[in-house]
Structure 1
Amino acid sequence: MKYIITILTMLGFAAVMAIIFLYAQIRFDADKIIDYNPKLTTQIYDRNGDLVANLFDDENRLYVAYHDIPARVIEALVATEDTSFFEHNGINIEAIFRALIKDIHAMKLVEGASTITQQLIKNTVLTRQKTLTRKINEAILAYTVEAALTKEQILERYFNHVYFGHGYYGIKTAAHGYFNKNLDALSIKEIAILVGLPKAPSSYDPTKHMDLSLSRANQVVNRLYSLGWISEAEYTKATLEHPMVYDETLTRNRAPYVVDEVIKSLASEYDDIKKGGYKIYLTIDLKMQQLAHESLNVGYKGMVSRLGKDANATELNGAMVVMENNTGNVLALVGGIDYSKSSFNRATQSKRQPGSSFKPFLYQKALDWGYSPLSEIPDISRTYVNSETDEEWKPKNYENDFEGLITLKEALVHSRNLATINLLSLLGMDSVYKELKKDGFKNIAMDLTLALGSFGISPLEYSSFYSMFPNYGVKTEPLMVKKVINRQGVEKIYETKSQTITSPKQSYLMIDMMKEVVKRGTGRNAQVPGIEIAGKTGTTNSSVDVWFCGFSPDIEVLTWYGNDNNTPLKKGETGGRSAAPAFKHFMTKYVELHPETTREFKMPEGVNARKVDGTTEFFTDVSPFPKSSTKELKEEGGLMF
């Protein structure tokens, strides 16, 4: 008897130790469920709250709290998978015995008796293999989880973790993915489809096997009816319903160039950006984004048509940036003609020469240093010699002629290269270079080629500098991310930065000059009826790069085209011919969509006007009329306002 007691004690001790050892092995698995912290999809929205894209790492999961899960969804799951869920402690003993009898009869494991808790455990930390060891682990884990969590917490974890097929993790993700609906908008049949999916996600995927999916859903509906949880009318309606199912990409990326830039700009701040469940709100307007893409293609197709049928246009590409003048909010950013063919973002990654579109920055310096729009500068040819290499440089105008003396306004309107180079020489290369660096320009050359925009800059960065003109002297940095909210609901607001470059009155003189560029100069193709447009064309040597940088009182639109391999475009392609039509298309449609947009530039205080030869000319105390115009003014008898 003594020996029997000793043996039983030893066996009992061994059993206890085995359970303790087993529990120690699976405790970490229990913690994964109890302290649930899944990978969550980050969602990006435009300024109007429309979804731009989903970002995720392996698992596309939108989280839903228990209190946001409709009661009918919970009823459908419990009715189908575990009717006594709210009564048991993680293991349904009665169901186990029923399944055991069937297994013995079949001489193999043919039926399980898993509760919702056990299913959560299988999906979260264990395999689906039907082995005795796994079953024991599962049972211990089920009791552990049930002891630590409420039934509601278990259901919340189940609905968020389980795979629903088609790349959708969690029922909220599946509802949005399959039906484009929130959970509270689902019909009984749609709920039944979702609840039936976890049993065999691939087999019951409604985008691939609709017949099997509907059959499985009808089983769920029938179970709800047999339990008396839905009425006969609801049962009949649900059985006959054939829901609309969508088959969309998981990312739903509607603006890939924008999304790439957002990830790049936020990656250093949020290292879990693709799995942290952030809500990112952009300044981008998806309607404007689509319009910008459409407009960029207008210019592109025009250039391709001029190439001829036998020409190769594979290297030809473009970019467009649309920005609000006073806020810096980027409304649209398109980095190429076709993202599927090239994800290289030419709006942010390429550094292209701005050419003549850079001239307004030099002319603004001249105005700020006392020149008037009517001040005359020499438009004559000169030969420059590099003192170090003895290499000669003999620039010329696009038209291969020269005017002699020409006013600043006329030189800009007709984009006269020689006049601009001579202006830079008159202003002083050192002084201009120093001021441009102070304004934020980088990588600019300290030689006279600067007058022709002989440095590289991306369209997005360039849009910041160009904002100083329509923004009355204030340069505004582009802003694309407005707000980021983390999974705890804590939000971070982003603000733009600005820098005052010149005064409003001096800036207005440049606005007027750039309006003339569009009215009667190189930018005539950018005219839009019913609204004042100002801007400047840009064409580099051999037409390697062509630009049109234009703006209305409210927004600016920068457009660039060129070959990716930096080879020349077809002869005759210029900023006015190639890029301005894209701008015109965008602004024309923009005005239609936003009839409330400001139509005229406001003249700030400190700007005066006189009639000269029948034309209204503007001046300020910093930029007075040149003395040579005094007689003309007296003869005209001008009007000050």
Structure 2
Amino acid sequence: MMKYIFGLLIILGLAAAGWLYNLYDEIKHDIDVVVNYTPKQSTQFFDRNGKVIANTFKDENREYVKYDDIPARIIEGLVAIEDTQFFEHHGINPDAISRAIIKDIKAGGFVEGASTLTQQLIKMLILTREKKLLRKVKEALLAIRLETVLTKEEILERYLNHVYFGHGYYGIKTAAKGYFNKDLYELSLKEMAILVGLPRAPSFYDPTRNLKISLARANQVITRLNTLGWINKEQYESSMKETPVIYNQSLTKNLAPYAVDYAISLLSNDIPDILYGGYKVYLTIDLDAQEIAQNSLKDAYEEALKRDLDFRKRENKPNDDSYVKELNGALVSMENNSGKILALCGGIDYNQSMFNRAFQSKRQAGSSIKPFLYQVALDNGYNPASQLIDISRTYNYTVGGVEKKWQPKNYGGKFEGIVSLKESLTDSRNLSTLNLVTDVGIDTVIKGLNNYGFKDIPNNLSITLGSMSVSLIDYSEAYSMFSNAGTQVKPYIIEQIVNQSGNTVTFGPQTKEIDKPEQIYLMTTILNNVVNNGTGKNAQVPGIEIAGKTGTTNDNIDGWFCGYSPSIQTIIWFGNDNNTPMRRTETGGRIAGPAFSNFYKKYMEIHPEIPRTFVMPSNVYTSNINGRDELYTDMSPLPDVEFQAEPQNSGQEVLDF
């Protein structure tokens, strides 16, 4: 009888062995997922000073860490509490399995597991968590197989990077920064114990929710380390008493969302996994400057709302919530000589509107376009002292067989008769600008605007009033010909990208020579006068020279200030998102000028070293005319006729075009 039983056992054993072999042969390649481990990793964005701006990810917020950068105490704590014989077994622990089987039989079901760290890794990456015998057999077979392919250190590296630590943190490096605001090497023993105790039940042991329970779990880890003799009595006692500071935060908090969104828009086509591919993206922005810029925009916005409210109170008019909802602004500030963007704000409040007006919106330029028109004139022989005619003209034209008239006016309705080119631009006079463009020739002016990089330019005199639409990014590039002494620089926000392998792509300035420095300096002196004595007075900044131009479109739909110091250029826009008019008094100088001024005042407090004065090129000359120093160059000689401008309030010319 025993012979038959023994034979039956042999047959059953061989059948079981065959079944196990077939099962192993079927699943053995499943470990490729673990061997070739490529987890989703958070992409990190940094500012120019190395400060973290944002973490972006898809599903799992994870920052990867190599085994050699994981403190030994973390490894010891994990092994002590989860798998003491980890470095001795070959994937499974027979003693633990035996103990678990006995307890399960007594309980009549699965009540205790015996999974090693290797098995836990298999379960996380390959198998389900359901408690079935087949799954446990597969887990054991794969664990044994995995330990023939990977070293113990490689298994631990994958485990500690993949496991969930609660609170949205995947991987131990992310958890350390999230719970303690520390890198791994800065953690205390108690903090390490809290972390290694979390994977068993991350939500239950989450210290932001259940601190007492989390500390109790950590004390179990410390006690186990002491029992094993892996820490001494002093370490044990001091760690048991410690209660670390816990931070309840989201590491995904974006400190400069408009800037990060712009960077992502530039990268997403070429790097589809930019959000979760574990990249390190170093931006040109300065977080301090970004905060100042955002606050400056918001302050100007709130002042505009206050003016509107005061106006309605005076006029006994009801409040208009639509004005509050529609009014918005944007700002782009960059280094003159490099194009590195210091600050980019695409709106007043990202939480209220994610639409990025810095690059997604195009608005009419208004009078802020005039410096480009006047630069064409300067390069065609005009001089800041040249005389311009500031009188009204009526333009007759035909559209679809219907005759129409256009009668442009100066802001305020008055005209001066004769003004200098410098005075005309200083006061942003429309009529003298129209006459200047007419005299220079509209074809010549359009050719110049094309050279400056403008596109879709209307082939008529409406260009003198800034009828073309531009984005702040494109306008920043165009204006850099003034701030950078004749050489345009392309604004850029991405300094460097580093992938998981450490490969680096670096970006740098892109430049285009447009004009001569001496010609641009003539314009800079005029634009400096705009700020000191003209429409840009609200943009003045004590202690530093500023050059710039205001811009207000028809019916006050758009308000601009485009200006620069000797080292930094800033373009600011305000308007209603639905293209309705702002209040009549909200000109570019009134609403955008103060935002510009405040930005520079605050920026100079943290960067007092920035240059304060514009430097005159050697081939710019000075001559005294009628008691005034006038500048000139070889290309822009002084006018032959000296004049005294006399205000005139009559006179009109009719032109057909």
TM-score (norm 2): 0.93
Q: Which residue of 1 aligns with 2:294?
A: 293
Shift of 1:435: 2.5
3-state SS of 2:206 partner = coil
- 1:606 and 2:612 are equivalent in the alignment: no
Matches within 5 A, 1:81-480: 81-308=82-309, 310-312=319-321, 313-389=324-400, 390-480=403-493
Q: Specify the SS of the correspondent of 2:177.
A: helix
AA aligned to 2:194 is I
Name the amino acid aligned to 2:390: D
Give the corresponding residue for 1:636. Answer: none
Superposition CA RMSD, Å: 1.9
For 2:623 and 2:207, locate their aligned partners in 1 and report how far apart those are by CA, in whole Å: 73
Q: Deviation per CA, 1:137-184, whole angstroms, max 9, x where unpaired?
A: 000010011010111101101110101111111100100111111100
8 Å CA contact retained: 2:44, 2:279: yes
Residue in 1 aligned with 2:314? none
Runs of 5+ consecutive residues of structure 1 not aligned to the other structure:
633-641
Are the aligned partners of 2:165 and 2:175 in contact in 1 as well (CA < 8 Å)? yes
Tell me, yes or no, if structure 1 residue 596 matches structure 2 residue 602.
Answer: no
Quote how far apart the aligned CAs of 1:383 are: 1.2
Letter in structure 1 aligned against 2:395: Y
1:559 to 1:630, Cα distance in 2 relative to 1, 3 A = closer
User: How far has the Cα of 1:298 moved from its partner?
Assistant: 1.7
For residue 12 of structure 1, report the CA deviation from its aligned partner.
6.3
3-state DSSP of counterpart to 1:469: helix
Q: Displacement of 1:245 after TM fit?
A: 1.3
Pair 527,615 (structure 1): closer, same or farther in 2 beyond 3 Å? farther
Q: Letter of the aligned partner of 2:146 in structure 1?
A: V
- Percent identity of the aligned residues? 55
Cα distance, 1:11 vs structure 2: 5.7
Residue matched to 2:50: 49
Tell me how far 1:400 sits from its aligned partner.
Answer: 0.1
Secondary structure of the corresponding residue to residue 596 of structure 1? coil
- SS of residue paired to 1:387: strand
1:387 deviation in Å? 3.0
- Letter of the 1:481 partner, please give it: I
Alpha-carbon contact 2:451-2:514 (below 8 Å) kept: no
The within-5 A match list for 1:551-630 is 551-629=564-642
CA drift at 1:21:
3.2
User: Which SS does the other structure have where 2:560 is aligned?
Assistant: strand
Aligned pair 1:542/2:543, yes or no?
Answer: no
Secondary structure of the corresponding residue to residue 468 of structure 1: helix
**Distance in 2 of aligned mates of 1:27 and 1:611:** 91
Deviation of the 1:8 alpha carbon: 8.0
Q: Displacement, 1:432?
A: 1.6
CA distance in 2, matches of 1:477, 1:350: 18
Structure 2 residue runs without a partner (length 5+): 311-318, 646-657
| Partner residue, 1:501 | 514
Alpha-carbon distance, 1:443 to partner: 1.9
**Which residue does 1:526 correspond to in 2?**
539
- Matching of residue 511 in structure 1 with residue 524 in structure 2: yes
CA deviation string 1:13-60 (max 9, x = no partner): 654543343224323421101111111111000000000100111111
Distance in 2 between residues matched to 1:4 and 1:414, nearest whole Å? 111
Cα drift, residue 450 of structure 1: 0.4
**C-alpha distance 490-349 of structure 1, shift in aligned 2 (>3 A):** same
Residue 616 (structure 1) shift: 2.4
Kindly state the Cα deviation for residue 582 of structure 1 after the two structures are TM-superposed: 0.5
What is the CA-CA distance between 1:434 and the residue it aligns to? Answer: 2.2
**Alpha-carbon deviation of 1:215?**
1.3
Rounded to whole Å, the distance in 1 between the matches of 2:184 and 2:601 is 41
Per-residue deviation at 1:458?
1.0
Structure 2 residue 496 is the aligned partner of structure 1 residue 483: yes
Deviation, 1:530, is: 0.9
Give the direction of change, closer, same or farther, for the CA distance of 1:573–1:286 in structure 2 (3 Å limit).
same
* Code of the aligned partner of 1:557: T
Structure 1 pair 406–24 and aligned structure 2 pair: CA distance change class (3 A): farther
